[in-house]
C-alpha cells in the first residue's frame, strides 16, 4: 500500500488527486485552488468535479461569478475515501491492538523508519521493533509462533513486507543510548503502538 498517497493509490488519475485534496480540508475551495493543489489542469478539474457532485461526494455552492466545492463527509462513498486518507493511523492503531494478543506479552512494540515518518509508499517495508521480556527465550515456541502470527497479520493489514528487529528489555536500554544509526532512527522516529514508551525503555523514569 502507498501510505504517502493512499487515496490516489486506490483511485488513480485526476479524480483521486482531487479527492485527496478535498478530504484533507473542511473548507470550501474554488475550482482554481483545487486544480492547483491537486496538480491537474483547470480544464481537467472542471470535468471531474461535476461527476463527484452528482455522486454526492462533493457539494457545490454557487458564489457568482464562481463556485465553491466542499467534501461531504457524511456521504457513504466519502466515508471510504476518508478511511483511505486515514490509513496510516488505522494501521498504527490496529498493529497495537493485535500486538496485545502476542504471548507472552511484549514489553513494547515500536514502528520506525519510513512508515513512522509518514513517508512509506508501496515499495517500503514496515519496520518494527518487538521488545521481548528478558525472561523469555527468543526460541520459545509460544513466543515465536505468536510473533509470527502477528507479523503475518501486519503484512496482510498493510500489503507491505515487514522487517522485524527483536531485542530484550535489558538489551534495549543500552541500544537506545547507543549512537548506532538504526537505533538513532528508532529513538528519533519511533512510534510506540504497544507497551512501554521510549523514555521508559531508555530507563529515564523510575519504575
CA distances from 110 to 17, 22, 170 (A): 31, 32, 16
- Residue 206: pLDDT band with limits 50, 70, 90: very low
The answer on pLDDT for 205 being more than 60 is no
Distance between CA 171 and CA 18 in Å, rounded?
48
Query: Domain-by-domain residue ranges, the chain?
Result: 6-84, 87-201
Residue with more model confidence, 19 or 65 = 19
How would CATH label the architecture of 6-84?
Orthogonal Bundle (1.10)
**Percentage of residues of the chain with pLDDT beyond 90:** 92
- Residue 98: pLDDT band with limits 50, 70, 90: very high
Distance between CA 40 and CA 43 in Å, rounded?
8
Q: In this predicted model, what pLDDT tens digit does every residue of 111-137 receive, in sequence order?
A: 999 999 999 999 999 999 999 999 999
Cβ contacts of 162 within 8 Å, gap of 6 or more = 125, 126, 128, 151, 154, 155
Angle at 38 between CA 33 and CA 43, to 5 degrees: 70
pTM above 0.85, yes or no: yes
Helix-then-strand count for the chain, H and E = 11, 7
87-201 homologous superfamily = Beta Polymerase, domain 2 (3.30.460.10)
**Mean pLDDT score of the chain:** 94
The total number of residues written for the chain in this structure: 207
The answer on pLDDT for 5 being more than 70 is yes
- Residue 82: pLDDT band with limits 50, 70, 90: very high
Do 193 and 99 form a contact (C-beta atoms < 8 A)?
Answer: yes
Q: What is the DSSP letter of 206?
A: -
Q: What are residue 80's phi and psi, to 5 degrees?
A: -65, -40
Work out the average pLDDT over 79-102: 97
The answer on pLDDT for 207 being more than 70 is no
Strand, coil or helix: what is 163?
Answer: strand
Amino acid at each position: 500500500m502507498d501510505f504517502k498517497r493512499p487515496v490516489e493509490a486506490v483511485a488513480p488519475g485526476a479524480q483521486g488527486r482531487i479527492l485527496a485534496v478535498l478530504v484533507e480540508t473542511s473548507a470550501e475551495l474554488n475550482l482554481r485552488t483545487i486544480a492547483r493543489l491537486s496538480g491537474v489542469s483547470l480544464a481537467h478539474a472542471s470535468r471531474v468535479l461535476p461527476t463527484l457532485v452528482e455522486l454526492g461526494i462533493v457539494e457545490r455552492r454557487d458564489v457568482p461569478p464562481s463556485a465553491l466545492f466542499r467534501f461531504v463527509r457524511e456521504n457513504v462513498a466519502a466515508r471510504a475515501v476518508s478511511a483511505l486518507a486515514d490509513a496510516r493511523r488505522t494501521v498504527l492503531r490496529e498493529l497495537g491492538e493485535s500486538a496485545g494478543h502476542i504471548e507472552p506479552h511484549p514489553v513494547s512494540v515500536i514502528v520506525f523508519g519510513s512508515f513512522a515518518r509518514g513517508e512509506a509508499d508501496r515499495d517500503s517495508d514496515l519496520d518494527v521493533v518487538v521488545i521481548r521480556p528478558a525472561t523469555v527465550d527468543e526460541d520459545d515456541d509460544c513466543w515465536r509462533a505468536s510473533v509470527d502470527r502477528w507479523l503475518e497479520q501486519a503484512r496482510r493489514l498493510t500489503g507491505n513486507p515487514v522487517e522485524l528487529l527483536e531485542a530484550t528489555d535489558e538489551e534495549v536500554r543500552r541500544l537506545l543510548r547507543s549512537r548506532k544509526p538504526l537505533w538513532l532512527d528508532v529513538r528519533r522516529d519511533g512510534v510506540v503502538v504497544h507497551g512501554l514508551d521510549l523514555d521508559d525503555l531508555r530507563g529515564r523514569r523510575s519504575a
